Amino acid sequence: MSTATVTPVTAVTPKARRSTSSRITLGVTIAAIVVLIIGTLTTDGFYSLANGKAILNAATIVGIIAIGMTYVVISGNLFSLSVGVTAAVCAMTFLWALNYGMVAAIVITLAFGAIVIGLQGLLVGTTGANPIMVTIGAGALQEAVATWVSAGVSVYPPEGANYAWLAAPLFGIPFPVYVFIAMTIIGELVLKRSRFGRSLFLMGESPRAGRASGLSIATLTTGAFVVLGLCTAAAGILIGAFNQSGTLTATGTLTVDSISAVLVGGTAVIGGRGSVLRTAIGALVVSAIEDLLLIRGFSTPVQLLVLGLIVSAVVVLSQINSGRSNR
């Protein structure tokens, strides 16, 4: 009579899976950093003072919008694909509203951005509609209305309007940089220290748990989009002041760049985890990558391709590291 030998099967515990995921993420991150460092060291002029200022200036507008986008992503509502159009329309609104004075122009523009994007959040929060589809539609509607109202021509400020200080250097540093720093600090404090911010994290981590805790999903979603609207309007004001004119083509790849900054900064695409401070760092990284590619002579489509690959890698790693693909 023979006896069979049974080989014990070692179970892979959740802790072991998380450890493996963390090692994969760490390895890819280190590799990406090494590639970036080598690329910058082998690019003439990248570490010049003038280029450093150019990177900082580019990161400022992207970073301001990305701050608001962080709130939306943390809330579990993916992204807004209308921020580029809204920023351009806000720039046009600001320059037109200067007819009523600087203070009125700023208030009108901020209110416009908060309402336009806030309404999108209200629709998403109350109906459960897909935020991607809602924001694409909202962007198309804004573009159509802005084209009709402006007759397709650029908007210019009234003669004698005093707005140049919004784009002028202050102590050798462009004024928008101070706005970016201030909004980063305020955005991080609100997100981490306020009840609203803590509720966004809970809702993003698990909407079901949020509802069980008595959270209003519609109110929180609308609030996250309102924050994005205020940030987008602030960026639009600075864009209008810098360009001294407003047109729908002024924002370029702003939507893609802001989303990239949020994800590169480590905010989880599935919601529930993130940081405004890391988003600000992500905006600097994205601007540095684009600047590096520009100096090396790569075109805008190539820059978008690289950013797309980076964002895709970040999303995949985020999913692997979280250990869950849906809630």
Question: For every residue of 127-171, which 3-state class applies, written as one string?
Answer: HCCCHHHHHHHHHHHHHHHHHHHHCCCCECCCCCCCCHHHCCEEC
pLDDT of residue 323: 56
As a whole number of angstroms, the longest Cα–Cα distance in the chain is 104
Q: Helical H runs in 296-325?
A: 300-322
Mean pLDDT by 10 residues, the chain (327 residues): 52 55 66 81 86 89 96 93 96 96 96 97 94 95 94 90 88 91 97 94 86 87 98 96 89 88 88 92 91 88 84 76 52
Which of 126, 176, 154 has the alpha carbon at shortest distance from 247? 154
Amino acid letter at 248? L
Work out whether the CA dihedral 318, 322, 323, 325 comes out positive or negative.
Answer: negative
Which pair of structure tokens corresponds to residue 46?
């990248």
pLDDT at 276: 96
Say how far apart CA 269 and CA 136 lie, in whole Å. Answer: 18
CA distance 221 to 125: 5
The pLDDT value given to residue 324: 47
Q: Using CA atoms, how far apart are residues 245 and 157, in angstroms rounded to an integer? A: 7
Say what the pLDDT of residue 3 is: 53
CA neighbours within 13 Å on the CB side: how many for 44? 1
Q: Say how far residue 231 (Cα) sits from the centre of its chain.
A: 10
Does 3.40.50 match the CATH number of domain 50-322?
no
Q: How far apart are CA 318 and CA 7, in angstroms?
A: 35
CA 81 to chain centre: 10
| pLDDT for the residue 180 | 97
Distance between first and last Cα of the chain? 52
Token duo for residue 123: 């629709």
Report the pLDDT value the prediction gives residue 327, as an integer from 0 to 100.
Answer: 45
Backbone angles phi, psi at 155, to 5 degrees: -100, 130
pLDDT at 325: 43
DSSP letter, residue 82: -
Strand partners, 173: 170
